[in-house]
Structure formats: C-alpha cells, structure tokens
Amino acid sequence: MDNLDFQEDLSELVTEYVKVLPDKLAEIEIEWYKLLHEPWNKERALKIHRELLNMVGSGGTLGLHLLSNVARDFASFMAGLVTADTKPVSEEEMLVDKFLQELRSAIEKNQLNKKFEKTVVTRKFIQELNSKRIEAEENMEKLQTKLKELEKRIENTVNISSQSQFLEGTVLPGSAGESYTIQQIFGNGGMGITYQAVRNSDGIRVVLKTLFPELVNDTKVSMRFLQEARAIMELDHPNLVHGYDFYQEKNLCYLVMEFIEGESVGSILKSSSSLELKKATQIILDVAMGLLYLEEKKLVHRDIKPENIILSTKGIAKLVDFGLVKMTDRDCTLTTAGIVLGTPHYLSPEQLCESKVDIRSDIYSLGATYYHMVIGEEPFQGENQMQVLQKRLVQIPKPKKVKPDLPKEVANLIEKMMQINVNKRHKNAQQLIEDLQKTLEKLAKESTNE
C-alpha cells in the first residue's frame, strides 16, 4: 500500500470522524491534516491515537456508538495496511500494528460496557415495576377502605332518611365528602326543620335547613327547595345569607347556609314592640343594599318580613330564607294556581293577584316591615287572614295616623314603598337606597339638635 492510498483512506476516516464529534472538529482536523500532509511525525500519530482511544472508552451514549463504528473502520484500515506485507518493515507500519491491537481492545471493552449498561437499565426497570406494584397495592387498600366508608355512609343514610327529626350528635353526609353534626333545633316550619350544626371538616357552625321526608318526593316542593339552594349558593353580598352546600339522597334533602350570630328582627319586635327610628331605618337600608344586589342578579325574594331579617352581633342586617326566590325574567311554574306564596301581613298586592313580580314587590314587603318596626304592629289588621289580604288591595297605610309623632320623612317613605300601584313606588332599589340615606341624615341632624 503506497502513501497516497494511505492518505486517501485516512482522509475519508477523518471526515467521518469529525461528523460524529463536531466539538472536537478544530483540534482533530488540524492534527490529522498535519499527519497526512506533512512528513511522518510519530508523536503526532500517538497523540491522535490517544484521543481516539480516550473517546472510545469515555462514551456511553449514541455518540460512543457512532465513534465505535468509526473505530472499527479505522481498525479494518489498519489491518489492511499491516497485511500489505508479511511483516512490518517500517516505523509507520509498526505503529499501525500497535494501533490495531489497542483499538480492538478498546472496542471490546466498550461493548462490555454497553452490555453492563443494558443490565443496569434492566435492573432499574424491574425496580420501577416493583415500585409501581407496591404503589398499586397501597392504592387498592385505600380504595377498599373508601368503599367500606361509602357502604357505611349509604347504610347510615338509609336509616337517617326515614327520620323527620334528628337528635343532637346525628352526623349527616354532605356533598364532596363533607359531613355535618347536628347540635340543636333552630326552627320548625311547615316544610321542614332548621338546625344549628357543625361542618366537620373545619368546625364552622352552620344552619342546616331540611325538608320533611314525605315532601322530598313532591316535585313542586323539592324543585322550590332546589331553586332556593341554587340561588343562595351563588349569592355573595354582606347583607344576604350565603349558602354552602346542598344534599339530596333518597328521602334526605337539606340545604346548608352560613350561621349568623344574632337575632331576627321578628324576635326583637316580640320583646320590644318597636325599634328606635335610626336603628330601624339603618336595618331597612342594609336590606335595601341586598335588594340592589338581587335586582342586578334578576332575582326577587318574595318573602321579606321581620322573621327573615337577622341583625348580627356586629350590627349588620342580613336577609335570609330564599325559599320563594324567583327569577324576574321567567314565569313562575312552581306556584300552584290559587295558592298565595308569602306571609299575608307583608305580601304585595300583585303577589295576591299572581301577577308578574319584580324588585318593586320586595320594596313593598320591606315597606310593610319598616312600618311594623317603627309603629309596633303590622300595617293591616283584620279578624282573619282574608280580611288582611283584601285590605292591601284597596288601602295604603298611613303610619302618621297611628303614630302622630312619627317624623314626616319616615311616614312619607313608608307610604311610597307601600303604594298599591307598582309604578308609584320606587322604580328600583337604588332609588330606595338614596331616600333611606337622606332619611337617616335628617334623623341624625334632628337627634343632634335635640
């Protein structure tokens, strides 16, 4: 083999080599170039050979695999050079023979390393499989535990659902894994019982309003109850009660609401007959702020009365009990023909006629409540409920006739709120709020002058 063939083959090998490891391009290319085009230099050849050996032995990835292929080509080339004659006759050929042996050794070592790497990968894979198996077994145990809890919960629900009244300490299931513990009865109504309870996840006191088991399967009643739940769970206003949860299963149906530390206006009126003017007006203003929020949501409460206004210990009034709430842009399909929904003493005239109602109907009921708070009695009196209902169709209360010392601005405000014709009342909650604020300012000035 002449030197020209040697240079051409070596040049092809170098070209392939630098494609594999471009980061060594500059250094290796220069050294190989010098070896090929300059007089033979033993030290340079040894240096290049060491580079090749180091790179074959230090790899372990795709680059190493490609480099090994280059090394094999180089080894084959060296073998051809050595066998050109029966024995080495020059220093170049002696070095080539040495290079060949060392490269073969390096390649064999590299192949062993690859086998070892495959073994390590296999072991790691097996370890991961074992880990997944252990994790799966743990998850299965957790699922079995949850299944037992669910079975127990269903069993308890079946027992609970047949009860009309729950004892203190009874635990009721809730949605999303929540549960509630009954503390005491809060109130008793025609549709169900209201309890004070504790939310077990965080210990917060709540109000739990239930439906009697026999009413859960009544479509109209249960739909009205669901309507209330949806409404208050979407409310977010400081003067309106907020809902937390709604649960229905078999004969068990209840609504969970925030617990308000305080007393209802109805309860206050039973003990003190009437309220001080400024306090009463401030309570009405608070509720009016809540009505403004409801109006924006296109909702009508339809059952505003002293019992449904809670005065908190912080002095903030909140409107509760949204059992008759209605969307103003929808026809009421849950009211049975001939049945009046609402409390007679505070009901608006249009509710008696089953007309379409809006926020002005709530303003009327709030005016009737205001009347009761400052006068000390309901706005309409009668021997029976029918007389009470009929009077509001033809009479507008005159609070000053009952209480002559009542400030004129308060009397006028109540009369405007309780107009029979809806178009003569405040057009919206904002107008009512403005009038109430003006009234409060006048009352404050009068008390200062005194």
Q: Catalytic positions, please?
A: 303
Smallest Cα–Cα separation from 446: which of 416, 412, 415, 409?
409
Cα–Cα distance for residue pair 359/64, rounded to 1 Å: 80
Q: Residue 310: helix, strand or coil by DSSP?
A: strand
Residue 201 Cα distances to 111, 147, 174, 198, 229, angstroms: 61, 20, 11, 9, 21
Structure tokens at 13: 């090998």
The length of the chain is: 450
Burial class (CB in 10 A: 0-12, 13-18, 19+), 70: buried
Name the residue with tokens 């145990």: 141
Structure tokens at 73: 């080509």
Indicate the helix (H) or strand (E) that contains 244.
Answer: strand 243-249
Residue 123 Cα distances to 115, 119, 137, 165, 249, angstroms: 12, 6, 21, 63, 52
Contacts of 441 (CB under 8 A, 6+ apart): none
Q: Residue 84: helix, strand or coil by DSSP?
A: coil
Cα–Cα distance for residue pair 361/349, rounded to 1 Å: 8
What backbone phi and psi angles, to 5 degrees, belong to 186?
-100, -40
Contacts of 306 (CB under 8 A, 6+ apart): 264, 265, 266, 268, 269, 369, 372, 373
Q: Which residue stretches of 273-395 are H helix? A: 277-296, 349-352, 359-375, 385-391
Contact 263, 309 (CB under 8 A): no
Structure tokens at 154: 């269903």
Structure tokens at 69: 């292929």
Cα–Cα distance for residue pair 158/400, rounded to 1 Å: 57
What backbone phi and psi angles, to 5 degrees, belong to 255?
-120, 135
Q: Measured on CA atoms in the order 430, 433, 438, 441, is the torsion positive or negative?
A: negative
Order of strands across the sheet with 243-249?
A: 171-173, 179-188, 193-199, 205-210, 252-258, 243-249
Bridge partners (DSSP) listed for residue 344: none
